[in-house]
Amino acid sequence: MYNKKILIIEDEEPIADLLSYSLKKEGFRTEIANEGKVGINKVKKFIPDMILLDLMLPDISGFDVCREISKNYSIPIVMITAKSDTMDKILGIELGADDYITKPFNIREAIARIKAIFRRIELTEEHNIEGKANVIKLKKGIEIYKEERKVLKDDVEIDFTNKEFELLTFLAENKKRIFSRSELLDKVWGFEYAGDTRTVDIHVQRIRKKLDEDKKSSVIETVFGIGYKLID
């Protein structure tokens, strides 16, 4: 986990400096961008392992930054927002954010959440190396390449966000087992994720849409009153 690079896109200097200072003390390397466009450009040069992204930026919206970065990179994004509006958080998750922190936040909790995301990524990578086959093949020409973190359908690559990929992979590795929405939040998002169960529903809907499936014929089956399972 040491020497991991974190890009902080935050226009409030005291918050950016506090995050940078605290993360450096934990062994991370950091860069700060005070505007959204500057942050997008720094992604290309700094190649961070994670991005902390403020929702309210002086030039462009954090949503736009998240959308732009998620189109071209598979980098975990944690949104920082002063808003407690659930819809803002859900929109951020829809656009590719992995987690969010609401201001004012406890710096120790923020660092713990950041470390938890890195641990989940490392555990996934170790599992891919030590455990099951790298490629999971499902019906309808769907193939999941775990090590490369990509999904193909009929040999065409589908653009998935980190969490969409992780959710589909988790269900595919546990075929036919039913998981409640709360269990999926715990297994895929982890670390007492602060979102509600609608986050899971949104991700399932987006996975189905990207795989060009409808609810009745999807590889991810809705189990009424409980949650979801993957059938193959």
Domain residue spans of the chain? 5-118, 132-230
Question: Do the beta carbons of residue 120 and residue 170 sit within 8 Å?
Answer: no
pLDDT at 76: 87
Measured distance CA(46)–CA(31) in Å, rounded: 8
- Give the pLDDT score at 84: 63
Handedness of CA 65, 66, 72, 73 (dihedral sign): positive
> In DSSP terms, which residues pair with 180 in a beta bridge?
227
Give me the pLDDT at residue 48, please: 95
Provide the pLDDT for residue 159.
Answer: 86
Q: What does the pLDDT read at residue 3?
A: 82
Q: 6: helix, coil or strand?
A: strand
Beta-bridge partner residues of 157: 152
Cis peptide before 76 (omega within 30 of 0): no
Of the candidate CATH numbers 1.10.10.10, 1.10.1040.10, 3.30.1370.60, 3.40.50.1820, the domain formed by 132-230 belongs to 1.10.10.10
| Measured distance CA(21)–CA(120) in Å, rounded | 24
- Residues 131-150 as b/e (b if ≥16 CB within 10 A, e otherwise) read eeeeebebeeebbbbbeebe
CATH class for domain 5-118?
Answer: alpha beta
pLDDT score recorded for residue 129: 47
Does residue 1 sit in helix, strand or coil? coil
Q: Is 151 left (phi over 0), alpha (psi -120 to 50) or beta?
A: beta
In this predicted structure, what is the pLDDT of residue 125? Answer: 61
pLDDT at residue 26, as a whole number: 93
Residues (pLDDT < 50) of the chain are 129-131
